[in-house]
């Protein structure tokens, strides 16, 4: 058997005790509606009805762009000035749009009413509206609500709000084994693991296959079909596949599920540590773990070497966008040798991020929240080789001679797992190569 690449030994605690630079100024971040773009692709019998303004409709049309060719599973009930006359109009408008939608699309089984910013929408009690729609359309469709408003949510928080709305609806196993599985335990607790967070189907298949080869039965949340929601058991262990699901994790814990702390499955090391957290939980032997993962680890290591030569010793600066920044920075630093100038995150959840913070070089500048002008000043002063930022900042920074990477691309592209590790590295090495070619 080919040798297994070890996870690098640690000498310290990295950034575990970091005091972040906290900023609460103007933000340049998408709102939580954006999550609909990947959520509607994942849950294939769900529909996302944005209760919002024309601005929301335009955002979704342009952000989703290419997907408009297929009949999309999201839309907007436009609530605007004419509804100022009274909330009754808003309810009528919602009834009309939902009726029309369900007649046209009888395949819809799960309907989300997604709240937004306009004052008329804020005044509307969306949970009561959802309850009313539930009564009108029961049992054909289940109607839930959450907020994707830019006032309450940033970018990936929309997925957290959506999954948090689903958690209370998850069924509970009727013969609930109250005893949680213990590592190497003699008790026969079921080897069932919940993986939480939207992943591309191809990634889900790969990670699911590796875990099942270790004898672990995996349930993904959200599932591809709303009729196949995972059943919860008391003590059921879960792993987060995405770092931005703090509310969802908390609600799952409130329902008795147990969070397994782990780095996120980005890069070779992150994926290995993430899988190891599951393997340890179910007492999978090191020999079995190595047997299952050796091949993919070898492939990932080989594929990453190509990008390492390009990225080694380059400097990178992260503006806050997706909450993926810290795991991405850890991957780029440890596996590709990049130097971290600043790692911005919209929100730092210390508990969920603890394994990632421990893997960052001690003294890394971490900022939480944003004051975009001040952050731009720091960035221009540091003049890094590469900046990860939103669409609005990319062009001005490129004009200053700084190579940029759009944060949104990192959320829409399959980047988790062994087979995607080199693709993820390629997202950073390609723009640098392009700039070098242009400069030559």
Q: Which helix (H) or strand (E) holds 389?
A: strand 386-389
CA distance 212 to 54: 46
Query: According to CB under 6 A, which one of 18, 39, 51, 53 is a site residue for ligand SF4?
Result: 53
Cβ-closest position to ligand SF4: 150
Q: What is the CA radius of gyration of the chain?
A: 23
Q: Residues 57 to 86: which contact ligand SF4 by CB under 6 A?
A: 59
- Least distance from C-beta 51 to ligand SF4, angstroms? 10
How many positions of this chain bind ligand SF4 (CB under 6 A)? Answer: 12
Q: Which of 299, 380, 298, 364 is nearest to 326 (CA)?
A: 364
Longest dimension (CA), the chain: 73
Q: Which helix (H) or strand (E) holds 394?
A: helix 391-399
Given the rule CB under 6 A, which of 50-58, 264-272, 275-283, 387-395 is the region that contacts ligand SF4? 50-58
By CB under 6 A, tell whether 150 contacts ligand SF4: yes
Given the rule CB under 6 A, which of 128-136, 146-154, 289-297, 336-344 is the region that contacts ligand SF4? 146-154
Q: Residues 84 to 113: which contact ligand SF4 by CB under 6 A?
A: none
Given the rule CB under 6 A, which of 3-11, 51-59, 86-94, 351-359 is the region that contacts ligand SF4? 51-59
What phi, psi does 206 have (nearest 5°)?
Answer: -65, -50
- For residue 30 the two structure tokens come to 């998408």
CA distance 379 to 319: 9
By CB under 6 A, tell whether 56 contacts ligand SF4: yes
The alpha carbon dihedral of 310, 312, 314, 320 has a sign of: positive
Given the rule CB under 6 A, which of 47-55, 229-237, 285-293, 416-424 is the region that contacts ligand SF4? 47-55
CA distance 83 to 146: 21
- Least distance from C-beta 167 to ligand SF4, angstroms? 23
Got the DSSP string for 178-223?
-SPP-TT-SS----EEEEES---HHHHHHHHHHHHHTT-EEEEES-
Query: According to CB under 6 A, which one of 18, 39, 102, 117 is a site residue for ligand SF4?
Result: 117
By CB under 6 A, tell whether 145 contacts ligand SF4: no
- For residue 289 the two structure tokens come to 């773990």
- Least distance from C-beta 153 to ligand SF4, angstroms? 8
Query: According to CB under 6 A, which one of 116, 145, 198, 293 is a site residue for ligand SF4?
Result: 116
- Least distance from C-beta 150 to ligand SF4, angstroms? 3
Q: Residues 13 to 32: which contact ligand SF4 by CB under 6 A?
A: 31
Q: Distances in Å between the alpha carbon of 437 and those of 163, 316, 385, 434?
A: 43, 19, 15, 5
Given the rule CB under 6 A, which of 53-61, 96-104, 179-187, 253-261 is the region that contacts ligand SF4? 53-61
- Least distance from C-beta 152 to ligand SF4, angstroms? 9
Q: Residues 183 to 202: which contact ligand SF4 by CB under 6 A?
A: none
Which residues does residue 82 pair with via DSSP β-bridges, in sequence order?
none
For ligand SF4, which is the closer residue by CB, 54 or 104? 54
By CB under 6 A, tell whether 35 contacts ligand SF4: no
- Least distance from C-beta 323 to ligand SF4, angstroms? 17
- Least distance from C-beta 56 to ligand SF4, angstroms? 3
For ligand SF4, which is the closer residue by CB, 226 or 323? 323
- Least distance from C-beta 52 to ligand SF4, angstroms? 5
Residue 11 in contact with residue 94, Cβ under 8 Å? no
For ligand SF4, which is the closer residue by CB, 190 or 392? 392
By CB under 6 A, tell whether 33 contacts ligand SF4: yes
Q: Which of 192, 280, 288 is nearest to 233 (CA)?
A: 192
CA distance 274 to 263: 6
Given the rule CB under 6 A, which of 37-45, 148-156, 249-257, 284-292 is the region that contacts ligand SF4? 148-156
Query: According to CB under 6 A, which one of 7, 16, 28, 55 is a site residue for ligand SF4?
Result: 55
For ligand SF4, which is the closer residue by CB, 160 or 335? 160
| 8-state DSSP, 33 | G
Given the rule CB under 6 A, which of 9-17, 49-57, 336-344, 420-428 is the region that contacts ligand SF4? 49-57
Kindly provide the residue ranges of all beta strands, DSSP E only, lying in 210-299, ordered along the sequence. 217-221, 237-240, 258-259
Kindly provide the residue ranges of all beta strands, DSSP E only, lying in 188-346, ordered along the sequence. 192-196, 217-221, 237-240, 258-259, 315-318, 339-345
Sorted by sequence, the CB contacts under 8 Å of residue 171 that are 6+ apart come out as 229, 231, 232
Which residues of this chain interact with ligand SF4, rule CB under 6 A? 31, 33, 52-53, 55-56, 59, 116-117, 148-150
């Amino acid at each position: 058997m080919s040798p297994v690449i070890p996870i690098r030994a640690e000498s310290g605690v990295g950034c575990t005790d970091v005091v972040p630079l906290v900023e609460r100024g103007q933000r340049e971040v998408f709102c939580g509606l954006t999550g609909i773009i990947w959520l509607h692709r994942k849950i294939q019998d769900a529909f996302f009805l944005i209760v919002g303004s024309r601005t929301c409709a335009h955002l979704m049309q342009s952000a989703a762009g290419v997907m408009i060719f297929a009949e999309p599973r999201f839309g907007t009930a436009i609530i605007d000035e004419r509804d100022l006359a009274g909330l009754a109009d808003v309810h009528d408008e919602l009834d009309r749009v939902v009726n029309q939608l369900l007649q046209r699309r009888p395949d819809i089984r799960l309907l989300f009413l997604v709240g937004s910013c306009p004052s008329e929408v804020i005044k509307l009690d969306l949970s009561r509206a959802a309850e009313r729609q539930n009564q009108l359309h029961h049992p054909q469709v289940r109607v839930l609500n959450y907020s994707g408003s830019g006032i309450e949510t940033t970018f990936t928080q929309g997925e957290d709000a959506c999954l948090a709305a689903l958690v209370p609806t998850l069924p509970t196993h009727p013969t609930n084994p109250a005893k949680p599985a213990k590592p190497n335990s003699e008790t026969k607790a079921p080897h069932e693991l919940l993986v939480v967070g939207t992943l591309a189907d191809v990634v889900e298949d790969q990670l699911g296959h590796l875990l099942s080869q270790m004898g672990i039965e995996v349930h993904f949340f959200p599932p591809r079909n709303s009729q196949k929601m995972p059943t919860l058991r008391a003590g059921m262990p879960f792993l987060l596949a995405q770092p931005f699901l703090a509310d969802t994790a908390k609600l799952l814990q409130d329902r008795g599920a147990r969070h397994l702390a782990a780095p996120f499955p980005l890069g070779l090391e992150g994926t290995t540590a993430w899988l190891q957290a599951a393997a340890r939980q179910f007492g999978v032997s090191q020999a079995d773990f190595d047997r299952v993962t050796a091949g993919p680890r070898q492939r990932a290591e080989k594929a990453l070497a190509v990008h390492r030569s390009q990225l080694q010793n380059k400097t990178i600066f992260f503006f806050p966008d997706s909450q993926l920044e810290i795991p991405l920075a850890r991957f780029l630093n440890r596996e590709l040798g990049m130097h971290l100038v600043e790692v911005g995150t919209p929100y730092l959840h210390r508990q969920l991020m603890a394994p990632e913070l421990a893997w960052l070089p001690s003294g890394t500048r971490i900022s939480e929240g944003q004051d975009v002008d001040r952050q731009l000043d720091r960035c221009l002063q540091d003049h890094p080789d590469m900046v990860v930022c939103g669409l609005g900042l990319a062009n001005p920074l490129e004009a200053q001679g700084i190579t940029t990477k759009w944060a949104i691309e990192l959320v829409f592209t399959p980047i988790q797992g062994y087979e995607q590790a080199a693709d993820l590295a390629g997202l950073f090495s390609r723009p640098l190569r392009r700039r070098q070619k242009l400069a030559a």
